[in-house]
Structures are given as C-alpha cells and as structure tokens.
Amino acid sequence: MKILSGRKIKKVYGKKLNAQEVLKGIDMEVNVGEFVGIMGPSGSGKTTLLNVLCSIDFATEGVIEINGKNLRMMKERELSSFRREQLGFIFQDYNLLDTLTVKENILLPLSMSKVSKTEAEQRFNEITNLLGIKELAPKYPNEISGGQKQRTSAARALITNPSIVFADEPTGALDSKAATALLSNLEKINFEKKVTIMMVTHDPVAASFCSRVLFLKDGQLYTELYKGEKNRKAFFQEIMNTQGVLGGDGYDA
C-alpha cells in the first residue's frame, strides 16, 4: 500500500540567469512499512528531496502526496496540523530544548494534541522502552550523551504515531557504536511497528539497515537497490559498489 508518491518533482533556486535546478523531475513512491534510504554524491539533491517531501521546503513543480493528501494544495494551517499529526522528524543536530527534561522533550509534540495524559504516559513508556532510554526521563540534554540525545529525538518523532518519519543524517554526529545502536532501534521499530522511515545518509553502513536505497545523481534518480533476502553485509557491499560507480563521498546536498 502506497503512503508517499512524488511525480515530476522539480526544485529550482534563484531566477533567470541565476537559476539552479537542483531536482530535475523525480518520480518515486514509498509503500507503508518501508525503510528507505536516500544517497548520492555531494550536490546530487538528496537533502533537497527529503525537504520537499516532508514540506520543510516546497517543490517548484510536481505533485507530492502523503496518505493521498497533496501537500501543495494545503493551506498553511492545514499543512501545519498535517505535519504535527502525520509526520515525524529526526535531525542530525537533535533539536532538543535544553530547558526541558528528556521526558518533557519527548512529550512536547503531544502538548498541542487531544491525547489524554494517561495515553501520553503509555506512549512515552512504550517508545522509551523500545529505544532503551526510559531511565533518562528526568535528565536534561546537557546531562546525556550524543547517542542518547539522538534516541530522545527519535522518541519525540515517534510518540505521535506518525504515518512516516523523515530522518536527515541522523547518525552524522554520532560515533560508530551510538550510530549502530540508533539504527538497530529504528530497524526494530520499522519492523515491529511498521513505521515508514525515509532517511538521507552518506554512510553505506547506515544505508545497509534500509529495505531500499535510492541513489540520486545531478538531481535525478540514478538507480535504486532492494535489500530483499540479502543480509546486511551483502547489502552493504552492493551499496558500496554503487556508491563507487557514482563517485564522491555522498555528503550533503
């Protein structure tokens, strides 16, 4: 079942002689329960694509639909409500509020919803148990590690039970141990709760946790790889081979 579709997505920055076409007519679909990675060399448009898909930015042309809703047809208030109720976001820099505890940061997205206190507590316990951070509840962001901050950020993104979670380089600021722990947790949540995840990454190790990886080159979809029945090691090697053909280190664009 399709949850996200994009047709002829274009993104142009600037005007006339200064115009730069970053996305050049991308067509794509994501099904419910997929864990999709987006990769590509520097300048390929991967972060731009993620931003327009999740409505942080807007496409210059094309149609983007999530759960059958056309993002470009929504008015600002409707779009704001849709983001809050349907979408989750995980960013490289955590975006936690230093004056709130871990628990308060995680529960913050529910403060504007109609979720009861009892249900909010149930959701908090469930997601923090899954991510292994329940004992951090009373601590403040400056009292926990980078990996714990990112798992807190992930819990905040997931507590609203979003239809789809968008992650932009979620392991970029983490060491390998913390990155693996986060990705293992996301993989588990994706499998057990059928949460759809789209993740931009430059790291083939991170991408190997995905069920499918899209590769961009020069603002266009170059190819895609499916994990299928492969183990993570074999999929990692396939990703490495494709990345080698594309060239570059895959850093932001």
Q: Give the class (CATH, top level) of 2-92+164-246.
A: alpha beta
Q: Which two three-digit tokens encode residue 83?
A: 């983001």
Each residue of 59-95: pLDDT tens digit? 999 999 999 999 989 999 999 999 988 999 998 888 9
**Residue ranges per structural domain of the chain:** 2-92+164-246
Sign of the Cα pseudo-torsion (193, 35, 108, 96, in order): positive
The reported pLDDT for the residue numbered 116 is 93
The reported pLDDT for the residue numbered 250 is 41
Q: Give a three-class secondary structure readout of 59-81.
A: CCEEEEEECCEEHHHCCHHHHHH
The reported pLDDT for the residue numbered 252 is 42
Looking at the chain, list the stretches that DSSP marks H as alpha helix, in order from N- to C-terminal side: 46-53, 76-86, 102-107, 117-131, 146-158, 176-193, 204-207, 232-246
Angstrom distances, CA of residue 222 to CA of 4, 13, 46, 123: 19, 21, 12, 39
Sign of the Cα pseudo-torsion (140, 175, 130, 34, in order): positive
Cβ proximity of 232 and 209 under 8 Å: yes
User: CA 181, CA 132: separation in Å to the nearest integer?
Assistant: 10
Q: Model's pTM, two decimal places?
A: 0.91
- DSSP class of residue 236 equals H
The reported pLDDT for the residue numbered 248 is 52
pLDDT, one tens digit for every residue, the chain (253 residues): 899 999 999 999 998 888 899 999 999 999 999 999 999 998 899 999 999 999 999 999 999 999 999 998 999 999 999 998 899 999 888 899 999 999 999 999 998 888 899 999 999 999 999 999 999 999 999 999 999 999 999 999 999 999 999 999 999 889 999 999 999 999 999 998 899 999 999 999 999 999 999 999 999 999 999 999 999 999 999 999 999 888 754 444 4
User: CA 62, CA 22: separation in Å to the nearest integer?
Assistant: 13
